[in-house]
């Protein structure tokens, strides 16, 4: 499992979003900046804090020209409930079987029992300019993303 690192071009993939529609990453890669965050589980305390903080700063990310995408292994219906309950205004992708998580090389934590929490900041060329890995510092994922995005042209 090769971990995607700074300078790497992100792979193309298609996953269903919270509305059951196919989301093809290649449609925005190379056109827009992106923040892709992998999170362990819908509606868990840490994931809810992280997701809502991204929601609260959605307009700031939008002004920075960035698309926010959250990815975890739960079902489309779980993502839909999570998005509606917390009024999440960005895309959540259902990665059943964790195929994309493995493609990115996102590590697991707690002896492999807990899916990792990693955020990738991607420039408008489709390259990773920064990644942040922390299971517990949920708000820092958002703060780091915004700080890095503001430094990008």
Q: How many domains are there within the chain? A: 1
Query: One of 47, 92, 93, 118 is an active-site residue; which one?
Result: 47
Residue 56 has a pLDDT of 96
Tokens 């059943």 label which residue? Answer: 96
In a domain, 133, yes or no: yes
In a domain, 141, yes or no: yes
Residue 137 has a pLDDT of 84
In a domain, 49, yes or no: yes
Range of the domain at 75: 16-151
**What predicted TM-score, i.e. pTM, was given to this entire model?**
0.93
Q: What is the pLDDT of residues 74-102, one digit of tens each?
A: 999 999 999 999 999 999 999 999 999 99
Reported confidence tier of residue 153, pLDDT bands at 50, 70, 90 = confident
Active site residue 52: no
In a domain, 116, yes or no: yes
Quote the CA–CA distance of 141 and 116 in Å, as a whole number.
13
Residue 69 has a pLDDT of 97
Name the more confident of 5 and 108: 5
In a domain, 1, yes or no: no
CATH of the domain at 120: 3.40.30.10
Quote the CA–CA distance of 3 and 60 in Å, as a whole number.
29
Q: What is the pLDDT of residues 26-85, one digit of tens each?
A: 999 989 999 999 999 999 988 999 999 999 999 999 999 999 999 999 999 999 999 999
State the alpha helices, DSSP H only, in 57-137: 58-63, 76-85, 99-104
The DSSP secondary-structure symbol of 152 reads -
In a domain, 3, yes or no: no
In a domain, 63, yes or no: yes
In a domain, 2, yes or no: no
Collapsing DSSP states into helix, strand and coil, what is residue 8?
coil
């Amino acid at each position: 499992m090769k971990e995607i690192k700074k300078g790497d071009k992100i792979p193309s993939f298609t996953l269903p979003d919270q509305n059951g529609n196919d989301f093809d990453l290649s449609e925005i890669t190379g056109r827009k900046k992106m923040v892709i965050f992998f999170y362990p589980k819908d509606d868990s305390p840490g994931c809810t804090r992280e997701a809502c903080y991204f929601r609260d700063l959605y307009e700031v990310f939008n002004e920075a020209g960035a698309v926010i995408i959250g990815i975890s292994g739960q079902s489309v219906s779980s993502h839909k409930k999570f998005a509606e309950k917390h009024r999440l205004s960005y895309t959540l992708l259902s990665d059943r079987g964790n195929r994309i998580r493995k493609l990115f090389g996102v590590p697991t934590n707690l002896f492999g029992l807990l899916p990792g929490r990693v955020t990738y900041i991607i420039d408008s060329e489709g390259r990773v300019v920064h990644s942040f890995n922390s299971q517990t510092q949920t708000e820092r994922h958002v703060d780091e993303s915004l700080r890095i995005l503001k430094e990008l042209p």
